Structure 1
Amino acid sequence: MALEDIALTMTPGIGVKGAVHLLECFADARTIFAATGEELVRRAGVRPDIARNIVQRKGFAAAEREAAYCERNGIRAIASTDPEYPALLRETPDYPHDLYVQGDLRALGARCLAVVGTREATSYGVDMCNRLVEGLARRVPGLCIVSGLAFGIDVAAHRAALDAGIPTVAVLANSLPGVTPVQHTRVAHDMLARGGALATELPSQARQKGTFYVARNRIIAGLAAGCLVVESPDSGGSLLTAHCADSYNRSVMAVPGRATDRASAGTNHLIRNRKAQLVLTADDILRELMWDLGADPATLAPEAPTPDLTPEERTLLGCFPEADPVSAERLTETSGFDPGLTATLLVGLELAGAVRQLPGNRYIKA
């Protein structure tokens, strides 16, 4: 990243969309600062006072201080024109020109899924978060979970990724190397140690006004191919993240909850209003994101092998039709086992994932 890239976002009068517009007109920050005031007004349509700020390089003193701060604190600054900048985020209309990152930059460009939800997560929400992330981690190579490191579902998603052995990225609404909330500093350190990253658009000189959380949500949505809302009340940051993802033409998914649960009111409404695809399993997410359609076998990691079966369990499994359900009574007749042994073996096969029980005391091969 050139110093001009930091100076662009620190020039008075240039906001996020202003920087995007100038880059569309001049291609890179160095060309912007090499332009005359007349060129800036004519080609980009900027106001004369902002053009003067650019020509007079009013953002450079602050940019030099920021560059020194990043070097002291082990922070990597990347610009939207750098090859390391996340490609999906660059496609959004309001991408941040500058990103400040600690950790492995490759995580930001991995196969990312945003997982967000309420700060007041229930045990059901945390359990679903763990199940879905674990299931995806087994199936999807190069997977990375993106969230905001907030209380509730956010930190549950990060922890589920760490438990599953995959990288995870936290997008923060504060400048690095700080972590908000401070209670999650240990989680953040674990993320960095295991190939993840912390990212923010905020330089150290940003003044916190309490509005950065809303802007942060667009980055979470922009980094990912899809956004999964696990639990949310009728309003909140996770619904804003889902709205951003939808506006970026990214897949929006939601986990349903009971109609009477406040924590699931937002997700249920997203599903009811057809703003989100209902998901119950990791396979539902794979289908929605079309991550299971690649012809290359390496597209998906292999499933975990079925546990070893006893000789009796293998014998009973051999009595199953290939695709049709069969009753326990029929299995007893076919196998020659007594009913008690058949029932015991069926329990073992079900626990091993080899068969599934259906209504009416019938079973089918899994």
Structure 2
Amino acid sequence: MSTLHQIALTFIKSIGPITAKNLLAYCGSAENVFSASKKQLLQIPGVGNKTVDAILSTNALSRAAQELAFVEKHGIDVLFFSDEQYPRRLKNCYDAPILLYFKGQADLNQKRIISIVGTRNATDYGKNLCRQLCEVLAPYHVLIVSGLAYGIDVTTHKECIANNIATVGVLGHGLDRLYPQVHKSVSQKMVLNGGLLSEFPILTNPDRQNFPQRNRIIAGLADATIVVEASIKGGALITAEIANSYNKDVYAFPGRTNDVFSEGCNFLIKTNRAGLINNAQDLIYYLGWYDEVPENKKPVQVNLQLNLTANEQKVIDVLKNGQLSIDEIAISMNIPQSKLAIVILTLEMQGLIISLPGKVYKLV
């Protein structure tokens, strides 16, 4: 495979990710796209004269040579759509870019990846939520993705660095520059453990229209997108909407009804576009990570000094032998399910037991 031709394919005007994938599917490789005749290209469904003329008259190969020289000089990885290293989660998104530029150490196919987004005008409330999320998620070997913008984005990256979590910033420009420049020191630390990712070539300015476009990568890379703080208008809600269109999980922290920087989160929750989470434990539960105790994290032991009722203590005792269904607990305790349901709900609210699929319960 020719990296030069793969890069060149992204420089052809009027060819976006969907058309590019169509060309690759019929031609077999980027080299074959450039060597195909006009007649051969016109036989491809969805490819018309305008696209063919753009391919045949392009100077993309010379521009690609400049790009290739830059990435080789600066140790930047070129991830093509067909490469094994290309993010698999993103590849499943219909409009995923055919090529990415990546500088860093992170595994973009790591087992656990989440995106955290939010307002550029982060409050102390939002910053504290970012800190708490990162502190709790650190033992789970998670990769956290954001956009390296002001506010929630850069706060997330900084907290990841503080907790030794791999973090990737998705940029709205080429890797020959950084916007905002004030985050340069943060980005340099990110490259050591996480990285910087972009679909844009060098000489691409951080223009306004690039950022909604890059948001689809933030959403597509992850298993779930978490909105920490967001106004009713802005990039965070765009990212959440894109994640929903990809059938990805979206979660949001609720805020006060009169707080402008929580309006977006409250709207997502109210319209069932996001699940409500109050803390990192909620996220771990929803993502199904609760059964895997991370390294260096001891299981929480039930505090026997809690002021439990007799039936609550019986449920705790029964579950010490392992997870059980509500039917099995009811039989063991010789108690009606209607009465047991209230006891179980109380224990769940106290954080002593958790519910698994199929009305099965276990101790935390």
- TM norm structure 2: 0.79
Identity %: 35
Q: Which whole-Å CA distance do the structure 2 matches of 1:123 and 1:288 have between them?
A: 26
Contact 1:73 1:177 in 2 (8 A): no
Q: Which whole-Å CA distance do the structure 2 matches of 1:62 and 1:108 have between them?
A: 30
Contact 1:75 1:177 in 2 (8 A): no
Match of 1:170 in 2: 169
Match of 2:271 in 1: 273
> C-alpha displacement at 1:115, in angstroms?
0.1
Which range moved further: 266-275 or 37-46? 37-46
Whichever residue aligns with residue 267 of structure 1, its letter is C
Contact 2:106 2:166 in 1 (8 A): no
Alpha-carbon spacing, 1:273–1:94, altered in 2? closer, same or farther (3 Å): same
Contact 1:257 1:264 in 2 (8 A): yes
Which range moved further: 38-47 or 79-88? 38-47
Alpha-carbon spacing, 1:152–1:304, altered in 2? closer, same or farther (3 Å): farther
Match of 2:297 in 1: 303
Match of 1:256 in 2: 254
Q: Which whole-Å CA distance do the structure 1 matches of 2:300 and 2:48 have between them?
A: 67
Contact 1:115 1:157 in 2 (8 A): yes
Deviations 1:317-339 (A, max 9, x none): 499789848xxxxxxxxxxxxxx
> C-alpha displacement at 1:41, in angstroms?
1.3
Match of 2:17 in 1: 16
Q: Which whole-Å CA distance do the structure 2 matches of 1:318 and 1:180 have between them?
A: 52
Correspondences of 1:213-224 after superposition (within 5 Å):
213-224=211-222
Q: Which whole-Å CA distance do the structure 1 matches of 2:205 and 2:280 have between them?
A: 40
Whichever residue aligns with residue 133 of structure 1, its letter is C
Alpha-carbon spacing, 1:26–1:249, altered in 2? closer, same or farther (3 Å): farther
Match of 1:84 in 2: 85
Match of 2:225 in 1: 227
Correspondences of 1:58-69 after superposition (within 5 Å):
58-69=59-70
> C-alpha displacement at 1:133, in angstroms?
2.1
Alpha-carbon spacing, 1:158–1:7, altered in 2? closer, same or farther (3 Å): same
Whichever residue aligns with residue 29 of structure 1, its letter is A
Correspondences of 1:101-140 after superposition (within 5 Å):
101-107=102-108, 109-138=110-139, 140=140
> C-alpha displacement at 1:242, in angstroms?
0.3
Of the two, which has the highest radius of gyration?
A: 1
Contact 2:113 2:143 in 1 (8 A): yes
Alpha-carbon spacing, 1:27–1:282, altered in 2? closer, same or farther (3 Å): farther
Structure 1, unpaired ranges of 5+? 308-313, 326-355, 358-364
Which range moved further: 45-54 or 75-84? 45-54
Contact 1:7 1:59 in 2 (8 A): yes
Match of 2:344 in 1: none
C-alpha root-mean-square deviation of aligned residues, in Å? 2.8
> C-alpha displacement at 1:303, in angstroms?
2.7
> C-alpha displacement at 1:145, in angstroms?
0.5
Correspondences of 1:135-154 after superposition (within 5 Å):
135-138=136-139, 140-141=140-141, 143-154=142-153
Whichever residue aligns with residue 173 of structure 2, its letter is N
Paired residues, number: 317
Contact 2:85 2:108 in 1 (8 A): no
Contact 1:107 1:167 in 2 (8 A): no
Tell me the SS of whatever aligns to 2:174: coil
Q: Which whole-Å CA distance do the structure 1 matches of 2:28 and 2:253 have between them?
A: 41
Which range moved further: 90-99 or 42-51? 42-51
Which range moved further: 122-131 or 54-63? 54-63
Determine whether 1:26 maps to 2:24. no
Alpha-carbon spacing, 1:305–1:88, altered in 2? closer, same or farther (3 Å): closer
> C-alpha displacement at 1:178, in angstroms?
1.9
> C-alpha displacement at 1:159, in angstroms?
1.3
Match of 2:180 in 1: 181
Deviations 1:246-281 (A, max 9, x none): 000100000001111111000001101111000012
Q: Which whole-Å CA distance do the structure 1 matches of 2:46 and 2:228 have between them?
A: 43
